[in-house]
Structures are given as C-alpha cells and as structure tokens.
A and B are shown apart, each in its own frame.
Chain A
Amino acid sequence: MEHDQDITLTVNGSMVSRRVAPRQHLVDFLRDDLGLTGSHAGCEHGVCGACTVRVNGDIVRGCLMLAVQANGCKVETIEGLSDSKEIAVLQKAFHEKNALQCGFCTPGMLMAAQDLVRAKKKVTREEIRTHISGNYCRCTGYQSIVDAIEEVVNG
C-alpha cells in the first residue's frame, strides 16, 4: 500500500483523480475503479486486443499500460466514443453485417477500426486485415468484420 500513487487524468472528457497501486493496469482501473466495463480484459498480455483504448489520441493495449502511466493523459474508451456518436456509423455497419456474435472482441475491434475511418483514405481488404491483426475474434471468422469496416471506410 505504501507504493500507491495519486493520478489525475481525463477519461471520456471528465477529469478523474484517484489513488492507485502501481501494479494495476489501465484496463482494470477503468473497469474496477471507474465502472467502465466496455473495455474488456482477455489475455492480459497484449495478444487479444479486447482491452484496446485510446490514450492521447492513439490506440493502445489497456493491459500493457499501467494506470500510473496514464497520469496526465487523455483516455478515451468505447463508452466515450459511443456516447459522442463518433463511431455510430461503424456500430450500425457492424450490426447490419453481423460483425459481432458474443461481442467480447467488439469494443476493441471498433476502436481499431475507427483508426482506419479517421485516416480518411481508401483501403484494401488486406490492409483492413493487417490493421485489425492485433484483435482476436473467436466467433465471426472476421469476414463480416472486414465487410463492415470496408463499407464504412470505402463508402
């Protein structure tokens, strides 16, 4: 307990101050301390992508960043992107194309996909697959996910 540190960060636009143990990673902090359970904890060693969140505008693994490292940062989670409607078009496309089944991978998948949407340039299906290569889906077989992303990115 002696090692605990005070951190202040912005989460989905709101300023948050908490005391955290250095060993707590960001996704556990978001889920357990802030109740933002949209970011999922799967493998907890960087392989599955379920924990993907945005820090200072870039997607990162929430399980490979400590909460203390997020001190002073701007963190955005799936709840933020969803509430602001930033990903409304992607969400609709995922729904329509059946790009989710159990939904475990979906928040991370949407986070990674939104990166491509924000880049505002046309992409091939191969490039979509490369970009989401760090996000595992155990249900869909990816085809429908690529369909949904392709529709939104390429119009």
Chain B
Amino acid sequence: MKAPAFAYAKPASLAEAFELLQNPNAKILAGGQSLIPALNMRLSSPDLLVDITGIPGLTGISVQGSFIKVGALTTHAQLETSETIRKHVPLLAQAVPHVAHAAIRNRGTLGGSLALADPAAEYPAVALALEAVFEIKNKTSERRVDASKFFKGLFETDLQPGEMLTAVEFPIARPADKSVFLELARRHGDYAIIGLAAHNGRFAFLGAGDRPVLFSFGKNLEKAKEALKTGLKPPADLYNSSATKLHLAGVLLERAWNTIRT
C-alpha cells in the first residue's frame, strides 16, 4: 500500500527540530525502517515528518569514562562493524546481527528501535540487562532516564511529546563480566519468538511480555527455572502459544546459564 499524504522537513539543527516538533501531529523520522512500513500500511498518519538525520552530533560511538556513549542515529550497521562496541559492549555486539536484514540494518537506528519499544526487539532487552541510561532532550531541557524506567508498555516509553532520544550510555564491560545474547526466530532476521539478553545476574527476556521482562537470578539454576515458570507469562503470537514460548524461554535460560553462571 501507499502512505497517506504528509509534509516533510529536514532540520539542520536540534533547535530547528524542536521548533517543528511543537506541532502535536509531527513525528520524528530516523531510519524510517519501522515508521515507513507503518505509514505504507496506513497504521499511522502524521501531518509532518521531521527527518532528524541531517542534525549533526546525533551519530557516533565514543568512550566517556566508564561508559560508551552511542548517538541515537547510529545505525545497526555501524554498531555491527564497531570495534569499540565489540570490545566494550559485547552483549550489544552479539545482539545486532539478530536485528532485521542487512539492507534494513544499513538505515535503521539504535534510537529508533528504543523509541519504538517493540517488545520483540533486541535493543530494549539489551539496554535493560546492561542498565543503560537514556539521554533525552526537548526544546528547553535535558534529562536522563534509566532503562528500567524507560519502557512503559506495549510500544510505550517515557518519551513525552516534543522530546527526542539523543544518545544512550552503556557501561563498559569489566573483565569479570559475563554476558550472552540468545534468540529463537523462524528465519534469520525476523523478530524473535523469544530471546534473552543476560548480563551477570540480570536476565532480560524479549518477546515475553508487553516490554522486556527482567529477572535477577542468584547462583541456583533450579530456583531460577522455577522463578521463570511462575513469573513469566509470554503472550501467544500467530504461531506460538504462551506455553510454547514459556518452554522456549526455559531452554534459553539453561543455554545462557552455562556461559553466565559457571
């Protein structure tokens, strides 16, 4: 299908973008890899698209003390080939190849994926497991939000009208840290049936609820499996029942355990 009509603007600065975003029917356009399909299917009909890809300073990966700061417009492909990410945020590096297909990774962005907050997406679970911090700006101020407070529900985040996610900070992995990303999908690059981003004792499941679902587990696998069984209620999708997904979550937990907890 074809998208409904809308106006398009490509501001050259944050100030200009925030001015345009005062329009309540304006929508931010980043990589467009989720927004344009939604427009093509007429699931969304904004008056104005504010293309933020012409704003300087929103891309890039840099070391800042004990954090790696990643600009919101950094693409999946840039994350995938980044030596800094591979070395310092290995959990994120493991997750990227699971995001969509090569042609989509060339345009889709970290910020777009987190702002969309698809419960089956990889990055929200990674951000939650790593306790990432989100940098959010609006016309007049800037604030920082922990990943645990950012995801509010199905496609729902803490972002308010007129705000933009500008960067994300991931803690640099310490030598003793152990992390692993696992995902089951029908075809490589499809959204996950179920997935797991695990970092030390923090286990964040994707495709398992209306947002990423976090468990903190101690050293006992049997207790962890029990807690998962009673605590996780994954919604059924088109192909898999809730029971199947719960079973698969348990399979991923056991697989991850060997890397993380031993």
The answer on a CB contact under 8 Å between A65 and B107 is yes
CA distance A52 to B32 in the complex (A): 15
Which chain B residues lie closer than 8 Å to A115 at the CB level?
A: 102
B contacts with A, residue count (CB < 8 A): 31
| Per-position 1/0 for A42-61, Cβ under 8 A of B | 00111001001000001111
Which candidate, B3-11, B151-159, B168-176, B246-254, is the interface stretch facing chain A?
Answer: B3-11
The answer on a CB contact under 8 Å between B36 and A112 is no
- Min CB–CB distance A90 → chain B (angstroms): 16
CA distance A28 to B33 in the complex (A): 17
Which chain B residues lie closer than 8 Å to A65 at the CB level?
A: 32, 36, 107
CA distance A135 to B36 in the complex (A): 18
Give the tally of cross-chain contacts (CB within 8 A). 87
CA distance A1 to B107 in the complex (A): 28
Q: In terms of DSSP, what is the predominant structure of the interface of chain B?
A: loop
- Min CB–CB distance B205 → chain A (angstroms): 23
| Per-position 1/0 for B1-43, Cβ under 8 A of A | 1111111101000000000000000000000110011011100
The answer on a CB contact under 8 Å between A134 and B106 is no
A contacts with B, residue count (CB < 8 A): 30
The answer on a CB contact under 8 Å between A58 and B106 is yes
Which residues of A line the B interface, CB within 8 A?
Answer: 3, 5, 21-23, 25, 28, 44-46, 49, 52, 58-61, 63-66, 68-69, 112, 115, 129-131, 133-135
Write 17 A-B pairs (CB below 8 A) sorted by A numbering.
Answer: A3-B5, A3-B6, A21-B5, A22-B5, A23-B4, A46-B37, A58-B77, A59-B106, A64-B36, A66-B32, A69-B32, A112-B103, A129-B188, A133-B188, A134-B101, A134-B103, A134-B189
